[in-house]
Structure 1
């Protein structure tokens, strides 16, 4: 006879990590023994200092909050666990009493997962273990860092990006505060207070670590009267210390701390206690590394109630971006992650803006990102390019409907501006009536640009044909795409105009192979990497994919990769274009992060000889793909 309850539990668990990493039989074995808990708001699952349970937990419905109780009996919220979130994993990793209190935030259903059975079916499953270690580390409470910083980092929900964070080099304190074994405890405490730190490392005359003193040592051994305040630190320090090398990863740091039940690791020159101290890695550092990742940021965005919170979340992305670039993470992966964050910010802004409107949207609509965001290439803060498409309405309702969406668009673009995305100087935004209209009018607009090409039509189509739906009815996006490709089949003149536009920026190098720089204005003598290097590749890729009727591929590098697949004879050219584009965009992004701007204009004197050489190598595919376009579209006489 089927165990229908266990099967329903199994169906739920399979959708969430780490249970999605188990086979069906193992999962069903766990599901049969799950403890189903029905909680009213305020019900406690476990409290701080409770003896650990034989279960860890996953929220089925509702929400469960985790709290830390301070010394003055105040309850500070650490995190809120929604459906699919696991919590209370401490007894699964390390058998000690709970550090936090778990309380039902609302009427909830929670599954208790039996630890012994779970361990038996997940033995040697590295993926499951890695996930649980990460979840434990992010929800574990470190009293020293929290007391020192008055902040606790909230929950962490791993996804595919977790692999990068988990195995990246941990960020540790490079200049640790030290003292000698003869230093008095009072002197050590004063030093810790002065530098606002939670620990001090005791070193010998060779600067090798011999001990560590934390707030806990001072509290338990000095404040209790066990030792006088002027006792040498040698009497109260923890020794020997646990050490590791400077290239320690986040994962290794977590495992070391859990294995030795410590909150601090001494980083030495060769990773042993017999070499010079060069840094300290704390549990707080680990949480910061885990907190500053796409999954954490996306969850923060999803829960944001204010534009200020969204701005903070988006600004964290720049730190993440710099970290990924420094680690040489593939740009294609970085583009996907940052694009996902940008889109999530836009979606949340739209949701909050709709809530501010006096009434719900009168008809279905779609918000389109155009330009760099539409191509999933927006890594830094740039200006806004967007459009809105709404469902067709009768003529007598059109003005009223458009006015509603114009007002909504103004709220959206205003919030995006506050977050850091500047208003478009050319007003190519949905708050402009020209770019906020019905599906039928958008279809007519696209058709007119294609069938009646001129300089303005080509300029606009080169921007608006790179679009992606961020929010709303996907049907609108599909119908616009269908209109574009159907109309393109009725003309060849449009390709000639688009080809001419793709060739408007010739080689970035002059006759004598010198960089072509701006000749006047504020940017005089600066190299415009966007105009002279990136845009020629972007424009060429757009033209070629349109001519090949390639749908659903907007990113420039991916367009070239698709072209390489379709045209084996030109595979080498298109692959070199893809590589060059990613290298140039990476270079532009690094410049932008370095100078806190868009990275568009580069001062050539600031570049090393090697950097200039790398740029020149990227320019070769530009010449080659432009020559190919001239021949392919017979543009020699059209220019």
Structure 2
């Protein structure tokens, strides 16, 4: 008999003895076209592994929920539960291995990881797979906690001592900073403060607290090192305060996290800080994809990369706008990013989603001219124009404060599909340059018209069904020979999660814009069930990983995917990746059902 192939998950995890056990018990069965292998509620006595052919899994509603190709395994859960709720039908003549239930149970008892592959929760399965990336110093940046990275040798001084005494202590300790205790507060004294002392010609007898910064940026000792890095980059600082239970206990400097730090992302941030021309920015923008590739190759997942790129892109946009906009416009306007960029979920340069709000008194032609140059500059830096023209060069998204308020008010008072989509894009907005209070003012104005009108919320939420183009589901489309073997990962998976959570967040007045933050907050508010929240978050992470992988492959092949930026070639996926994709789409189907019920979309 043909020898079982142990080269793929979860069978590659079996010991020699377990492999012998399986090999001695396995058989091969042939099934003809349209033959039913498993009926709903039929007792299950075997685990099936496809050798050749194609099997389709059909749900109780007639939808094809999965396809099984070479190396795919089914129906593991039903083996334990006793029966399946679904039907398994041969689409193309199939040869399959049949592994007896007793053999599978015996191996599961000796190999917990083998059993977990089939029976772990969806969230646990995705999380487990994400941990199988090759280990590298880059990966530790996203797993190490601050407590493991910062040095517990912070210098502490009292705010009442003189500058001369403080300088002596810092020289003796060979440190560039010290934490200062003064009147129940904790502050930070750095060597740069002594430059200010010299410029001000202050006496060396001045008490230290007068030159201490008490408005500090902090991280918790149990935060990830990555969080500390983000804060340093976001606030353009060299160190952060480390807190435990809300109490400052020390400081962490950039040098403390060098072992965890990617030189690529750090250098990009430093070069952005020093950039003086648009030509400088063009060079830096080209380096960003290289940084993403390096980090991705070394185990960093898409959601963490998206957070990093949100900081870097925000710095790049701010610098570009500062170089382009006249000073009087820069100070009297607010440049905002929206959509995936505003949510902190964009990694590769896909499109521009931005807008400009400017104060009354700013000549509209001045704003329009600068906005047009900004859009052209972003295109030069590799950010394609938005297909929907949602960018500052479009007068609809470059308005004075009163006009912007009028526009968002109109979306609520006349809730058409177009206005609801504009609202969805805008509520993800974040300020990246200029006067951020302008955006805050528009959002506060918008709040007055969001009265939880059931009709408006229903129309807003209905967009989750925007791409449900086939009544029998995505997998059934693949059975047609003329159909593409590609999936639009954004339409089929990412968008329904993003917009569904956005609708729930809008209803619950959740201020967070990042989808993962929204999931966390909505779970805390009991707006979604905790297990569903975990499953959806992990499914979204996995889909973002697939999307990033496809995008990086397109870049490596110098392929222009601007027409199909979200297309996943299913033929290129491994058996494990297809299995996880099936699980992810099932989670999203379940989540969409929750959204339909919650917002009465079927009425």
Same fold (TM over 0.5): yes
Tell me the distance in 1 between the aligned counterparts of 2:318 and 2:533: 34
**What does residue range 367-516 of structure 1 map to in structure 2 within 5 Å?**
367-393=335-361, 401-489=363-451, 491-506=453-468, 510=472, 513=475
The change in CA–CA distance for 1:484 and 1:508 in structure 2 (over 3 A counts) is: farther
- Structure 2 SS opposite 1:550: coil
Q: In the alignment, what sits opposite 1:547?
A: 507
Query: 2:522 touches 2:528 (CA, 8 Å); kept in 1?
Result: no
**What does residue range 259-298 of structure 1 map to in structure 2 within 5 Å?**
291-294=263-266, 296-298=267-269
Q: In the alignment, what sits opposite 1:310?
A: 281
Q: In the alignment, what sits opposite 1:323?
A: 294
Tell me the distance in 1 between the aligned counterparts of 2:513 and 2:368: 27
The change in CA–CA distance for 1:435 and 1:465 in structure 2 (over 3 A counts) is: same
Q: For 1:271-322, what per-residue CA distance to the aligned partner results, in whole angstroms no more than 9, with x for missing partners? A: xxxxxxxxxxxxxxxxxx864233x322210110122322322333323223
Q: For 1:99-156, what per-residue CA distance to the aligned partner results, in whole angstroms no more than 9, with x for missing partners? A: xxxxxxxx999xxxxxxxxxxxxxxxxx9xxx9xxxxxxxxxxxxxxxxxxxxxxxx9
The change in CA–CA distance for 1:419 and 1:19 in structure 2 (over 3 A counts) is: farther
Tell me the distance in 1 between the aligned counterparts of 2:153 and 2:520: 32
Query: 1:362 touches 1:401 (CA, 8 Å); kept in 2?
Result: no
Tell me the distance in 2 between the aligned counterparts of 1:442 and 1:612: 45
Largest Rg, 1 or 2: 1
Alignment RMSD (CA, Å) = 4.2
Q: In the alignment, what sits opposite 2:272?
A: 301
Query: 2:331 touches 2:435 (CA, 8 Å); kept in 1?
Result: no
Tell me the distance in 2 between the aligned counterparts of 1:470 and 1:501: 27
Tell me the distance in 1 between the aligned counterparts of 2:336 and 2:518: 20
2:578 pairs with one of 586, 592, 612: 612
The change in CA–CA distance for 1:443 and 1:162 in structure 2 (over 3 A counts) is: same
- The alpha-carbon deviation at position 508 of structure 1 amounts to 9.3
**What does residue range 501-540 of structure 1 map to in structure 2 within 5 Å?**
501-506=463-468, 510=472, 513=475, 524-540=484-500
Q: For 1:539-576, what per-residue CA distance to the aligned partner results, in whole angstroms no more than 9, with x for missing partners? A: 1011010011111x111121111111111761111221
Query: 1:508 touches 1:619 (CA, 8 Å); kept in 2?
Result: no
Query: 1:413 touches 1:431 (CA, 8 Å); kept in 2?
Result: yes
- Structure 1 SS opposite 2:335: strand
Query: 2:301 touches 2:545 (CA, 8 Å); kept in 1?
Result: no
- Structure 2 SS opposite 1:24: strand
- The alpha-carbon deviation at position 363 of structure 1 amounts to 6.7
- Structure 2 SS opposite 1:381: coil
**What does residue range 12-411 of structure 1 map to in structure 2 within 5 Å?**
21-24=154-157, 32=165, 34=167, 166-167=258-259, 291-294=263-266, 296-329=267-300, 331-354=302-325, 357=326, 360-361=328-329, 364-393=332-361, 401-411=363-373
The TM-score with structure 2 as length reference comes to 0.57
Query: 1:165 touches 1:293 (CA, 8 Å); kept in 2?
Result: no
Q: For 1:1-24, what per-residue CA distance to the aligned partner results, in whole angstroms no more than 9, with x for missing partners? A: xxxxxxxxxxxxxxxx99994323
- Structure 1 SS opposite 2:336: strand
Q: What are structure 2's unaligned runs of at least 5 residues?
A: 1-149, 178-188, 193-198, 202-220, 226-236, 241-251, 556-560
- Structure 2 SS opposite 1:360: helix
Count of equivalent residues: 391
Tell me the distance in 1 between the aligned counterparts of 2:161 and 2:477: 65
- Structure 2 SS opposite 1:387: strand
- The alpha-carbon deviation at position 583 of structure 1 amounts to 1.5
Q: What are structure 1's unaligned runs of at least 5 residues?
A: 1-16, 37-52, 60-82, 87-106, 110-126, 132-155, 169-288, 394-399
Tell me the distance in 2 between the aligned counterparts of 1:108 and 1:516: 73
Query: 2:452 touches 2:507 (CA, 8 Å); kept in 1?
Result: no
Tell me the distance in 1 between the aligned counterparts of 2:494 and 2:420: 18
Tell me the distance in 1 between the aligned counterparts of 2:542 and 2:452: 37
The change in CA–CA distance for 1:450 and 1:56 in structure 2 (over 3 A counts) is: same
Q: For 1:421-462, what per-residue CA distance to the aligned partner results, in whole angstroms no more than 9, with x for missing partners? A: 112232211111111111121111111111211122123222
Q: In the alignment, what sits opposite 1:120?
A: none
The change in CA–CA distance for 1:58 and 1:535 in structure 2 (over 3 A counts) is: same
Q: In the alignment, what sits opposite 1:76?
A: none
Tell me the distance in 1 between the aligned counterparts of 2:166 and 2:520: 50
The TM-score with structure 1 as length reference comes to 0.54
Q: In the alignment, what sits opposite 1:603?
A: 569
After superposing the two structures, state which structure 1 stretch, 507-516 or 447-456, moved more. Answer: 507-516
- The alpha-carbon deviation at position 371 of structure 1 amounts to 1.1
Tell me the distance in 2 between the aligned counterparts of 1:441 and 1:511: 43
- The alpha-carbon deviation at position 487 of structure 1 amounts to 0.7
Tell me the distance in 2 between the aligned counterparts of 1:584 and 1:490: 31
The change in CA–CA distance for 1:453 and 1:511 in structure 2 (over 3 A counts) is: closer
Larger RCO (CA within 8 A; separation ≥ 6): 2
- The alpha-carbon deviation at position 58 of structure 1 amounts to 5.9
Tell me the distance in 1 between the aligned counterparts of 2:480 and 2:328: 49
Tell me the distance in 1 between the aligned counterparts of 2:479 and 2:157: 62
Tell me the distance in 2 between the aligned counterparts of 1:416 and 1:629: 36
- Structure 2 SS opposite 1:585: helix
The change in CA–CA distance for 1:509 and 1:332 in structure 2 (over 3 A counts) is: farther
